[in-house]
Structure 1
């Protein structure tokens, strides 16, 4: 469990997970047996392609966090594209999960230095005297 926490701490875990879950949810709604289901294009090819790419991008964010900026921008654009192609983005749930996950991955920053070193440096600095 400690190893998983350490692995999760060095990558945008929640952003990648939400993006992958959004893509999976949209794929599930494509198979729904509702009369509301829309299919646009060649038998709904785009309806299956965009959420599949969202799922892949979410996994890439988890396992290759150095390229998270490119993956998250592409993930946000694909999530917004599902509004038209995939049942209003999986009835809004997958669309919102994808956009929020992409935003979390885009805004994530790796920890540059250990926390102990930063707090030690702050305590050691002397106050500047006023003139």
Structure 2
């Protein structure tokens, strides 16, 4: 990394991460990847079984795709979150109980975080800070 300090790189990544639902997209991607890893049947056998066997691979791949698209195209996050939660719920039936519940839960939590993320929301002020500001305002009035 010529010409850039580690602080600059970390600051740039922090700014990139703040402009998108990073943790939700990451959880949705990890949920889909975990379900793909827990698949026991080979792709050759899944193709022989037919559509039911193939959906065991397609739904987790769709979850990974929705998670990555959320990270790199956050403007369409609502659509990706709805498709991600539907794919996670359908993995219950098609993919070893949703990757033994772990991938299913990661997908549901990630999709919920994506759906609830607001891009231009101001940071929340802690209770301690609000009390401190209220005390300071009272002291100024007295």
Under a length normalisation based on structure 1, what TM-score does the superposition of the two structures give? 0.77
| Structure number with larger C-alpha Rg | 2
Q: Which 5+ residue runs of structure 1 have no aligned equivalent? A: 34-39, 116-131
**Secondary structure class of the residue paired with 1:44:** helix
Q: Which has the higher contact order (CA 8 A, sep 6+)?
A: 1
Q: Does 1:84 align with 2:119?
A: no
CA RMSD of aligned residues (A): 2.3
What is aligned with 2:36?
27
What is aligned with 2:53?
44
Under a length normalisation based on structure 2, what TM-score does the superposition of the two structures give? 0.71
Runs of 4+ in 1 over 3 A off after TM superposition: 40-43, 112-115
Q: Which 5+ residue runs of structure 2 have no aligned equivalent? A: 1-9, 43-48, 125-142
Higher helix content, 1 or 2: 2
